Homo-oligomer: A and B are copies of this chain.
Amino acid sequence: MTGWINYNLDQIGHGGLKKEIAPGKNHGVFLLGHILTSEDSISLFLGKGELLYPEYNLIFTSGSKLQPADKYPSTELLREQLNKVFQRNTNLYSEMSDSELNEPHSLLKGKMEDDFFKTKEGVITKFLAHQLHHTGQLSILHIIK
């Protein structure tokens, strides 16, 4: 997944990330930040420590009000920070056993069967799908003018 995302971001380039995926819709800077903060939040769900970039959790979540692309941190910085989050998560995963993956995740409230993620493995696989989904949206920026 990390290779897939970085490949697409490379193809789009920093200039391309400033474009919108459709008129009046999210631009690439927001989507990059959204992938970053989603990936960052995995550590909370796994009970493995705090967010590396808590400030992004306010501005890049799905309920945040979209600002112009140049109001956000630079895409150079965001990509560097994304790679730090990828590296932290790769390290976390390498320390997890199969049995830990089957544990309820750490933000679970209420019954496991009613929860979207359920287990720690559910967190990892669903965020993987989510991140790749948004990467597909981002990829539009490479083909449009």
Binding site for B on A (CB under 8 A): 1, 4, 8, 21-23, 25, 128-129, 132-140, 143-144
Contact = CB atoms under 8 A, between A and B. Distances in A.
Interface residue SS majority, chain A: helix
Given A136-B133, A136-B135, A143 B4 contact: no
29 contacts: A1-B129, A4-B129, A4-B133, A8-B133, A21-B140, A22-B22, A22-B140, A22-B143, A22-B144, A23-B144, A25-B143, A25-B144, A128-B132, A129-B132, A132-B132, A132-B133, A132-B136, A133-B133, A133-B135, A133-B136, A133-B139, A134-B136, A135-B136, A136-B136, A136-B137, A137-B137, A137-B139, A137-B140, A140-B140
Contacts of A134: 136
Contacts of A22: 22, 140, 143-144
A84 to B, nearest CB: 21
A144 B144 CA distance: 14
Nearest to A1: B129
